[in-house]
Amino acid sequence: MNVQITHLEEHRMRIAQLTPAAAVLFAACVAPTPGALRPGPDPVNARYINPGTLAALPGFTHAVKVGPTVYVSGEVALDSTGQLVGPGDLRAQAAQAFANLATVLRIAGVTPADVAKLTIYVVNAKPADLDVIRAAAPDFFPQRNSPAGTVVGVQTLPRDGLLIAVDATAVARAMILPREDRDRYRERP
């Protein structure tokens, strides 16, 4: 009886002949090191940022940092004691909300230049409101390389008297760029 063995069957027979210890060693040599394909910060572990110097709306974290990305909740016009700044004054409230945003970003290790996306919620928004908001927070609206952004008109915000809330997504570019490129992306002429 003449039995012909295919290449695949021959390969299976050789593997079956390996001892379990040899198979484990072989697998260890071939398997990639966990995390080897993802250099840099660990994107799985989240850091929750709640500065004690800023008043918070109940139920919200000021920011969450995952890897180089910082997600900031809607910052509003509350001072450090929780008092509303600038009742009825959009410019004053915008200045306070963006100051609070800048504080959260700094604590998270990023700057306004690292903001990739802004979402601005304005009670009873009018087209002219964007000019008022831009004037109140020039660091967030540079002439060149402004962040992506959306202005959303809303009927109300979580606390009476609030006229504006600003949330942001920032990427700590200094953590992911080669050193020679960092200054180029941080500067905004």
Find the CATH number of the domain harbouring 165. Answer: 3.30.1330.40
pLDDT tens-place values along the chain, 189 residues long: 555 666 656 656 665 565 555 555 554 444 444 444 445 555 568 999 999 889 988 888 999 999 999 999 999 999 999 999 999 999 999 999 999 999 999 999 999 999 999 999 999 999 999 999 999 999 898 878 889 999 999 999 999 999 999 999 999 976 655 555 555 545 444
Assigned domain for 16 exists:
no
- Give the pLDDT score at 175: 61
Give the rounded distance of the alpha carbon of 6 from its chain centre.
Answer: 54
- Give the pLDDT score at 92: 98
Assigned domain for 3 exists:
no
Assigned domain for 13 exists:
no
Give the count of domains, the chain: 1
- Give the pLDDT score at 10: 65
- Give the pLDDT score at 144: 83
Element containing residue 149 per DSSP (H, E): strand 148-154
Cα Rg of the chain, angstroms = 26
DSSP string, 6-44: PHHHHHHHHHHHS-HHHHHHHHHHHSPPTTTTS-SS-SS
d(CA 138, CA 77): 17
- Give the pLDDT score at 11: 55
- Give the pLDDT score at 111: 93
> 47: which 2 tokens?
């850091």
- Give the pLDDT score at 173: 79
Assigned domain for 41 exists:
no
Assigned domain for 5 exists:
no
Assigned domain for 141 exists:
yes
Q: Which residues contact 76 (CB under 8 A, 6 or more apart)?
A: 57, 93, 96, 97, 100, 157, 158, 159, 162, 164, 165, 166
- Give the pLDDT score at 183: 54
- Give the pLDDT score at 31: 45
Assigned domain for 88 exists:
yes
Identify the domain containing residue 77 by its residue range: 46-186
- Give the pLDDT score at 71: 97
- Give the pLDDT score at 142: 85
